């Protein structure tokens, strides 16, 4: 400091050309030594730009203990406490959870994290990632963003493309199997873009695409190759 933090702030602000918003994600866990310079840099940015031009969203996990039949809010409380110690007060809390929790858990998080009840946004598990924008809107996320930035939204929100996509996704008429042959098939994230391309192509064509992962190192001869790929519609 100030050399490292100045470079981070410079990187955040570079190449800007009248954009409405700049979204910066700081990965990892609060308290990790690697993320400290980045957290300090955004703390300084709020000081420089002002509260009405910056918004801190903190994502936390609210684990559910089935044996005790209760949600544990302590990890969220500790995480926010760590941030406060670094000079950052979250404006919005996104709480990841297995299922919906009741208002008393939400009130507890609000009380001990020093944040309004409306600013505690629940994100329960979804069947598909494309359902999340609708869930976030139903939880009032956009309402909170408009309020913070004093945006007077005159138009009705159009979330029809999302709902139409989900409706199509839930009513696929046919199915195909596509084999992906590669070296890193045990790590599906390695082929994430290919996976998503097949998924979207399938939706567009009213077809469910099932992916069969084939480890290229295990295919030693034609017989094994035929056995692995015989039932696939595409490779």
Q: Is the pLDDT of residue 188 over 80?
A: no
Q: Is the pLDDT of residue 181 over 80?
A: yes
Instruction: Give the H/E segment covering residue 48.
Output: helix 36-49
Mean pLDDT, the chain, rounded, equals 90
Percentage of the chain lying above the pLDDT 90 cut: 57
3-state secondary structure of 61: strand
Q: Is the pLDDT of residue 96 over 90?
A: yes
Digit-coded pLDDT (tens) for 44-62:
999 999 999 999 999 999 9
| pLDDT (0 to 100) of residue 208 | 94
Question: Please, what's the largest Cα pairwise distance for the chain?
Answer: 67
Contact between 183 and 216 under an 8 Å Cβ cutoff? The reply is yes
First-to-last alpha carbon distance for the chain, in angstroms, is: 52
Query: CA–CA separation, 21 vs 161, rounded Å?
Result: 22
Percentage of the chain lying above the pLDDT 70 cut: 99
Give me the mean pLDDT over the 166-180 stretch: 92
- DSSP of 85-151, one letter per residue? HTT---SEEEEEESS---HHHHHHHHHHTT--GGGEEEEE--SSGGGHHHHHHHTTHHHHHHHHTT-
Interaxial angle between packed helices 3-13 and 36-49, expressed in degrees from 0 to 180 and rounded to the nearest 10: 60
Q: Is the pLDDT of residue 3 over 80?
A: yes
């Amino acid at each position: 400091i100030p050399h490292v933090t100045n470079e981070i702030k410079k990187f955040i602000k570079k190449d800007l050309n009248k954009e409405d918003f700049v979204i910066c994600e700081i990965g990892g866990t609060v308290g990790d030594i690697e993320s400290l310079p980045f957290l300090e840099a955004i703390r300084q940015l709020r000081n420089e730009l002002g509260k009405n031009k910056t918004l801190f969203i903190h994502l936390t996990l609210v684990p559910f203990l089935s044996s005790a039949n209760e949600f544990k809010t302590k990890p969220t409380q500790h995480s926010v406490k760590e941030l406060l110690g670094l000079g950052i007060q979250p404006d919005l809390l996104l709480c990841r959870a297995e299922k919906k929790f009741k208002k008393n858990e939400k009130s507890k998080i609000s009380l001990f994290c020093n944040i309004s009840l409306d600013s505690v946004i629940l994100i329960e598990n979804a069947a598909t990632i494309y359902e999340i924008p609708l869930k976030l809107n139903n939880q009032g996320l956009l309402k909170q963003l408009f309020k913070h930035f004093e945006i007077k939204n005159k138009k009705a929100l159009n979330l029809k493309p999302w709902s139409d996509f989900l409706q199509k996704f839930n009513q696929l008429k046919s199915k195909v199997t596509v084999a992906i042959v590669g070296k890193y098939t045990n790590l599906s994230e390695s082929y994430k873009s290919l996976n998503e391309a097949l998924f979207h192509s399938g939706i567009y064509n009213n077809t469910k695409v099932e992916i069969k992962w084939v480890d290229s190192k295990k295919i030693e001869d034609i017989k094994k190759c035929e056995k692995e790929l015989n039932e696939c519609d595409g490779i």
